[in-house]
Structure 1
Amino acid sequence: MNTTAPRHAELAVYTPAESVAVYTTGETAPVIYTSVDHTLSDAARAAVEAGMPDSTRRAYTSDWTAFETWCAKHGRVSLPATPQTVTEYVVHLTVTLSIRTGRPLGPSSIERALASIRTWHTFANETPPQTKAARKVLSGYRERLAITHDPAAQPRKADPAVPETLRAMLATVDRTTLAGMRDAALLLLGYACAARVSELVALDIANVTETADGLLVAVYRRKIKTFTEVAVPYGRVPATCPVRAVRALLAAMADAGRTSGPMLVRIDRHGRIAPPMMRNGLPIGDPLGRMTSDAAADVVTRIAGTAGLDGRWTGHSLRRGFATAARRAGANLERIGRHGGWADGSRALVGYLEEGDRWVDNPVTGL
């Protein structure tokens, strides 16, 4: 029997009881799919999950657990869920106060919950539920928030750490200490490479090469699943030069006996690299002391607070700041995208550039 699927199937018959699909055309013999063809092994499911960023997987797991709990409480089946169950759950999320914030989830969080439910069905070899009605509920919720001027109607974004902001932040950092050198390198290299904090903390010392022109940094871009070699030139001002900041950090770490492994590491108040961390008598954390993404983001938030900056400052502020400043300096979309490892046609990048252009390229100017 020819097992090659026809290019244009003219007739499809699906028999749920037998889990068999038969595709026929007038040109080829039937192709019969059994339930085996629609099944993923445990190993395959684990491999699919491994292709998802850790932060996304944690968020989806949390969302799915909340959905399972709600279904159990209301006598509904979570897997496979019906469209009606998903719609009722979205209604529940729009009116139920979150324990963490004391208010209902925002539209973007509910969007993620829907994505989590569909993704979990896929992992379990189940057909994801149809969400058309649920999204209508979400659309109405979003409009209701906007009409009532609820702050939740506006997506929360990290403020961009543009050069003047970075200068204010760096002015508060004590670079005579090892921790201060690390923090300065984290800010400046994160900005210069337009790196996500997860990409930044993943850097090893071996990923950074100093040349006559500056640094070549091999950054693994999580979203596009590839390494990019980012050229980081010397800065005109020594205090804000990423090359000098990284050089100072690596020299200080070498003096402390660390010449390999992660570049951004835990440092305690005594200047010790990778001090042991214990919980309930057991060691926790990376044994080599690699910082977590959350720890790196906390550095940005803490320093912005010390500098007295208003707004929302997170690890993503560095990446947004690079895109905004590069656009203001006249760099084109393609160069910015390739330097920062954005996927071609990235809507996120276009959004950053539009925000940067609204003053520089304002259509009202000169009217």
Structure 2
Amino acid sequence: MTQRLLLPCLRGAIGTWVTYTCLMRLSDIKDLISFADDLHKNKNLSQLIQRQLKRERKKEIGDYLLNDEEAFFNSLVVAVYEGEPRWHQFDKIGNNTLGIEDFETPDYTLESMGYLSLSREEKIFALDGQHRLAGIQYALEKDEDIGRQQISVIFLAHFNDAAGLKRTRRLFTTLNKRAKPVNKDAIISLDEDDLCACVTRYLVEESSFFGGDRLKYQATNNVGYADTKNLTTIGNLYDLIKVVIKEGCGLSPREIDNYRGGEEEKGKFFNLVESIFSYMFSTIPCLAEFDNAESHASREQVIALYRNRENGGHFLYRPAGLKIYLQAMCKFAKLNKFMDFESACFRFIEKTQDVDLWLESDFLRDKVWDATQKTIMVIKAEVRKSIIMSLATFAIKK
């Protein structure tokens, strides 16, 4: 039978969290603590968190542990669930303790000291200190002897249901936001206060047109010619949603980044964005072909037709093209104030579904597509504005 691991511990409380601050050996940290990859039912979203870990930081921190006699770490913050963690309280200071009259003994002190024991079957992942965890793993691969060193680790209880996942995701980004700017990968995959990130995750996990492997899980907007599986990237999807919510719905960047609406209001944005994309994929022929492809092979044929080196393909199969199209849609909605936003979006999609947006068309050649070099051009600001206004006015006049 595997022995339980006993950790010296202080129990405390802040906000709605009960904390257990333990002293752990680096070897136990390496064996028991993993990265935050259990925060989504969609594992591609979870993998985004690990991609933000920088290899050079891992080596830098590991070498620091190995070579600096004065090495020091702040506490790791970890979430724990499953297994069988137990709290063992001890209270040695009592009325018969010598000199008790010289002590001020707040109520919490007798409940705060003890041990936390682990069955070693728990699932534990780092919420704050992922680079430090990677550095510890790197250092122990080089020298197992440093595994006897100890640092403090703050344990938080995590509940693996919808409310618990949301609460832990919010804490992850809160901790990291306070320390340094959070990468776009982490914002998309974890941030519970960023409205566009919440909508992005909703579409990825609940919609058919961006579900499964139809999306490239990277935060940048680049999709290469060799990619015949994905329409666009999750980073571009996040940017598209921000266009709709910021330029269409009129929310400010601050309101988006730190959304304070309730779940019912947030659900309205989920439904609005899903409705717009659903109408796009059912109405615009080139997107409908992608959505209706019944196999990987047929989807690859669709993408090869609409994104290629020969003629460039179609504007909506380029991240920049999708963004400009949605910006034009929002411009159309602003020019039609007598219509509600969702209806205006539908009207714009109907009116522009047959517009020639092939990159070789007169409309886009030598503005977006270099027909001689066979490559996408850097789209200048005035060209972008011209395309947006042209599409919006075309929809109005048609």
Which of 1 and 2 has greater Rg?
2
What TM-score results when the alignment is normalised by the length of structure 1?
0.25
Higher strand share: 2
Question: TM-score, normalising length from structure 2?
Answer: 0.23
